[in-house]
Amino acid sequence: MPALPTLPRTSVSRPLPWALALGLGLGLAVASPGPAATAAVLAAGMGCSDSSGLCVDSGGASFTADKKSTSKDRKKRSTKNAGTLSLSIDGGRGSVFLNGRYVGTAPVSGVELPSGKNDLQVRDGADVLATGLLDVPKGAAVSITVNGG
């Protein structure tokens, strides 16, 4: 668990505004994922028809299309409680890139998946089938279907 940042000495005397701002920020972040964000959760056995081109079949992860991790997200990633990623492409082919690196050509399974926010991209040559941020709970076995058509 990373240490919480120490507040500047001057603000110790005024903790209420800080707490209010933090609470407001957190509340807004949780309540509104934004219009571009897409959290796709797919019931097992159905084809992937999500507009992002990617459906999370199981594992409790959420995918936000067209978003990249921040340096803070990268620092928070942890392989200590890593899960696994299984990914298949429905009606096509492609390679899977996780956190900027090639991990395999679909279908892939058992790929080590750090907990936290991971950059995920699936592409077939020049065509990007899905790209975005995959938020993974600790130790989750995430199964994903990407629409290859």
Partner 1 sequence: MSSPGRAGQRRASATLALALALGVGVATVPVSARAGVTPAPLLFKKTKKSGGLTPEEAAERRAPVQQQGQQMVSAGELTAATILYDGAAQNEGDPVLFLDAADVYLAMAKEEREISSAETAKMRAQTAQDVLYFHLDSASDPDYRLVATEDVSGLLARASALIDDADATIAEIEAEQDAVVAPEAAPKRKQGNGRGLRIAGAGFIGLGVAGLGLGAAGMAIGRINQKRVDDPAVYGTEFDEFDAKGRRGNLLAGVGLAVGGVGLVLGVTLLVIGKRRGKNAGSAPQESPSDEEASVMLLPTGRGLALTGRF
> At its nearest, how many Å lie between partner 1 and the CB of residue 19?
35
Tokens of 76: 């928070």
CB under 8 A: which stretch of 4-12, 40-48, 75-83, 103-111 binds partner 1? 103-111
**Residue 111 binds partner 1 (CB under 8 A):** no
**Residue 86 binds partner 1 (CB under 8 A):** no
**Residue 135 binds partner 1 (CB under 8 A):** no
**Residue 102 binds partner 1 (CB under 8 A):** yes
Would you say 116 and 136 are in contact if contact means Cβ atoms under 8 Å apart?
yes
Q: Alpha-carbon distance 26 to 20, whole Å?
A: 10
Would you say 79 and 56 are in contact if contact means Cβ atoms under 8 Å apart?
no
Give the 3-state secondary structure of residue 110: strand
> For the window 41-80, what string marks contact with partner 1 as x by the rule CB under 8 A?
---------------------------x------------
Q: How far is CA 140 from the centre of its chain?
A: 12
> At its nearest, how many Å lie between partner 1 and the CB of residue 92?
11
Report angle CA 137, 116, 56 to the nearest 5 degrees.
55
Contact pick of 78, 99, 111, 141 for partner 1 (by CB under 8 A) = 99
